[in-house]
Amino acid sequence: MRACALFLLVALAGCTVGPNYSGPPAAAPNAAAGRGFVRAGDAPMDRQAPAAHWWTSLGDPVLDQLVARAIANNPDLGVVRARLLQARAALRQEQGNLLPQANASALYAHARIPGVDLSQSGSSDGEGSGGSGGSGGATGLNLYNVGFDASWEVDLFGGQRRKIEAARATAEAAQANIDDAIVSLSAEVAQAYVNLRDRQRRIALNARSVAMQEQMLALTRQRFDRGTASRLDVSRLQTQLDNSRADNVPLKAELEAYLDALATLVGEEPGALDDLLRADAPLPFPPARVAIGDPATLLRHRPDIRAAERMLAANTAKVGVAEAARFPRLSIMGIVGVGGTKPSDLTKLDDFTLLAAPQLSWNFLDFGRTKAQVEQAKGAQAEAEAQYRSKVLAALRDAEDALARFRYRRVTVATLARAKASADQATALSAERYRAGTTTLIDLLDTQRQQIAAEQNLSVAEAGLTTDFISIQKALGLGWE
């Protein structure tokens, strides 16, 4: 009979209720099949796997330094790292809950019991009795005890194993969240750095344009004084100069904002990077060919998709946790102790107290509470599955949109580069005519101003192209290893 009971206990302990997780649903079957990106078009893209540290392809050592400092010191990244530590500790706790618990205890108690005289029953020594305490025959009693107790809840239907499964998946999701934070952080640092260099370049170009317009205005005023120019010409140039000066104000404000943004992203106070970044530097430019891989690689690599998949696994395991609560629970408690009314009783190891108490409990009449908990767990599982599908589709859309913007921005850059080349040629021809005396200095300065305007437009487009390149890397989920 005992052997049969033990066999039944072992068989039940190997039972695990609830659904077994079999992987995420097929949210994007075409992408998983390995086809290429739809919006890449004729842009120079390679289907080889892209590099994790994509920012090094921009060839800017200062940017490399800023990204490394941000990954090491950014406080928001520290938050998600701390959450990973919590998740791993929760996993260790659930793993420990699968095993028995043991406690040691030592007890000394003194009791004054009125109306009882232990001396009449033969206990008259000073160790066992504190003596009578006055009228009424009150007696003092000492009690010494050292013992151990242990308890173990047998995981009959796998509820605790499902808790461990859920905790492990949650910890893995926390790790994926760290990777996702690194992806976002590296892209944010690179975008702020590109915007900073763009503002510096545009401020310098605007200063050149203002200087030329000031010279043009001074010459026009001289002509007005001689009667060879109208007041309208002076007013028109003054308005143009004031507008150019006004354009410089928001550029300087944005420059200061990007300096502060980069400082806080690397975990420093605003102003800490001013000395490093104040000097002008070339605008980073993307490589001639961009490695993008394919959608199947993206689905495997993006950390937010992995985090969503792990949370789906965790919520699937929690259904089993809720299901296990519908079945009986077996707990075993044991107590071992020695002691008595004298300290010497603690040494009598052959005279001990032993208690073993298995307990079977079953909350079979809960008026639907456990069933409701199961339905809640299934609802959370369905929500996690929908969130996973949403993450997959959003990731594919991010990548396709970024590729489309990059492809068309290349056309814009090429067009503005031709416009800049035409402006350069017009400036050279105007300079030759001015040296030959066939045109005025004002005409030359106006041509040079248009050349600077073309260069400003090209600078904005080039900064946009680099920003679109960064968006591609973020959409592909790159930046972590």
**What are the tokens at 206?**
């605007």
- What stretches of 283-368 show up as alpha helix (H) in DSSP? 295-301, 303-324
Contact 192, 351 (CB under 8 A): no
Rg, Å, the chain Cα set: 39
Percent of the chain at pLDDT exceeding 70 = 89
DSSP bridge partners of 359: 331
Q: Is 32 exposed, middle or buried (0-12, 13-18, 19+ CB in 10 A)?
A: middle
Rama region for 356: left / alpha / beta (φ>0; ψ in -120 to 50; rest)? beta
The one-letter amino acid at 307: A
What global pTM score does this model have? 0.82
Segment 412-436, tens digit of pLDDT = 999 999 999 999 999 898 888 878 8
Architecture of domain 26-99+157-326+386-475: Up-down Bundle (1.20)
CB atoms within 10 A of CB 358: 12
pLDDT at residue 7, as a whole number: 47
Domain residue limits, the chain: 26-99+157-326+386-475
What DSSP assignment string belongs to 73-110? H-HHHHHHHHHHHHHHHHHHHHHHHTS-EEEEEEEEEE
pLDDT of residue 102: 83
Which amino acid, one-letter code, is at 287? P
- For residues 319 and 467, give the distance between their C-alpha atoms in angstroms, rounded to a whole number: 44
Res. 41: pLDDT tops 70: no
State how far the Cα of 19 lies from the Cα of 371, in Å rounded to an integer. Answer: 15
Q: Which amino acid is at 380?
A: A
Question: What confidence score (pLDDT) does residue 34 get?
Answer: 65
What are the Cα distances from residue 196, in Å, to 23, 201, 243?
A: 44, 9, 22
- Between CA 258 and CA 196 the distance in angstroms is 6
Residue-level pLDDT at 137: 59
Q: Map residue 71 onto helix, strand or coil.
A: helix
Using DSSP bridges, classify how beta strands 290-291 and 353-361 pair: parallel, antiparallel or unpaired. Answer: unpaired
Structure tokens at 198: 């763009």
Closest by CA position to 214, among listed 242, 246, 248: 242
Question: Which residue in 421, 443, 412 sits closest to 430, CA to CA?
Answer: 443
Structure tokens at 291: 């490695």
Residue 470: per-residue pLDDT: 94
Q: Taking the mean position of all CA atoms in its chain, how far away is CA 374?
A: 30
CA geometry: angle at 37 spanning 33 and 39, to 5°?
150
Residue 119 pLDDT class (50, 70, 90 cuts)? low
% pLDDT > 90, the chain: 43
Query: How many angstroms separate the CA atoms of 201 and 393, rounded?
Result: 38
